[in-house]
Amino acid sequence: MTPRNLPPMPNLVQGRLYKVRARAAERMADDYSYALWDGAEGFVGLRTKFDSRFVDTELHHDASESFGTVSEAYDTGIDCPLVAGWTAEQWVEAWSCKPLFAWLDEHAVKLGAAPDRRSRCPDCKRLFEQPAGRFELYCEKCDEPPPNAAA
């Protein structure tokens, strides 16, 4: 993959939302997706794999010619307040951050994207629609407490 419009890593702003063309990121109607620059070597955005949606990192081509999967990046001028001052460890754990998932989903829609909100429940394997702006790992049926659970 040869990068087309990919700013050098030092020119990118940590926590800034970029419109990117990446190999595995969730693609919108125009074949682009939206992701945040993590300040180190990757773009953190939404991904769908095996019918599950989650937060994932795609590497900048300059970080790894072999594994760099982002070929274009365009600055939206939007900064994510949730990640201000995040450490490298926090970026690694971004996949489990529900507010970040919701923020990415919401801003992709605001910028004209129409994400596929279907996901597969890891318990019952049922395909379900994720609520807009929220990340739910399990479907409503599996996310309910057991019938005899203490309140």
Q: Per-residue DSSP letters for 38-60?
A: -SSSEEEEEEEETTEEEEEEEEB
Beta bridge partners of 74: 19
Closest by CA to 34, choosing from 68, 64, 2, 79, is 79
Other C-beta atoms closer than 10 Å to the C-beta of 55 total 21
151 residues of the chain, pLDDT tens digit each: 555 788 888 999 999 999 888 766 655 545 678 889 999 888 988 777 776 777 888 888 888 777 878 888 999 999 999 999 898 888 888 887 888 888 888 888 787 766 556 666 666 766 666 666 555 656 667 665 444 444 4
Task: Map out the domains of the chain as residue ranges.
Answer: 9-115
